[in-house]
Amino acid sequence: MDNELTYTIIGCALKVHSKLGPGLLESVYQKALMIELDNECLLAEEEVPLEVIYDGYNLGVGFRMDILVENEVVLELKSVSSLEKVHFKQLQTYLKLANKPIGYLINFNSESLRIGHEINRITNVNYHE
């Protein structure tokens, strides 16, 4: 995983938060973050469908990843009073189903964004190229 890529992504999130502050809907932060990622010339897709395969059967599109950057990094955005265990598990499941190496869970509803608190790096231990 390219550390420069993740550093740039975090920088974009920090810029969005510094300009908008807390208290807005997740969708607002998502649109703003897409603009910042584009400004950095990063390939980013939003609302990426994620199919669920069970025992060889395609159950259809079960989920949507908020943002996928450079087809490697999944961004799961929140605007909640505090992150819960279920939010971390959600991102872990997305990484597993999409077979992506890394993701960030970012909660914009805070006075400041701190790594390890509002910005959380999650790795996919089952990732295979």
CB atoms within 10 A of CB 3: 7
pLDDT of residue 31: 98
pTM for the model stands at 0.94
Q: Which amino acid is at 52?
A: V
Name residue 121's beta-bridge partners.
104
Q: According to the model, what pLDDT value does residue 38 have?
A: 98
Please write the tens of the pLDDT for every residue from 7-22. Answer: 999 999 999 999 999 9
B/e letters for 64-98, b = 16+ CB within 10 Å, e = fewer, are: ebbbbbeeebbbbbbbeeebeeebeebbbebbebb
Q: Which residue has the higher pLDDT, 74 or 2?
A: 74
Query: What is the chain's mean pLDDT, rounded?
Result: 94
**pLDDT score of 60:** 82
- Whether residue 1 has pLDDT greater than 70: no
Q: Which domains are seen in the chain, by residue range?
A: 3-123 (3.90.320.10)
Tell me the per-residue pLDDT of 43-60, one tens digit each, with 9 for 90 and over. 999 999 998 888 999 888
pLDDT the model gives residue 82: 94
The yes-or-no verdict on residue 23 having pLDDT over 90 is: yes
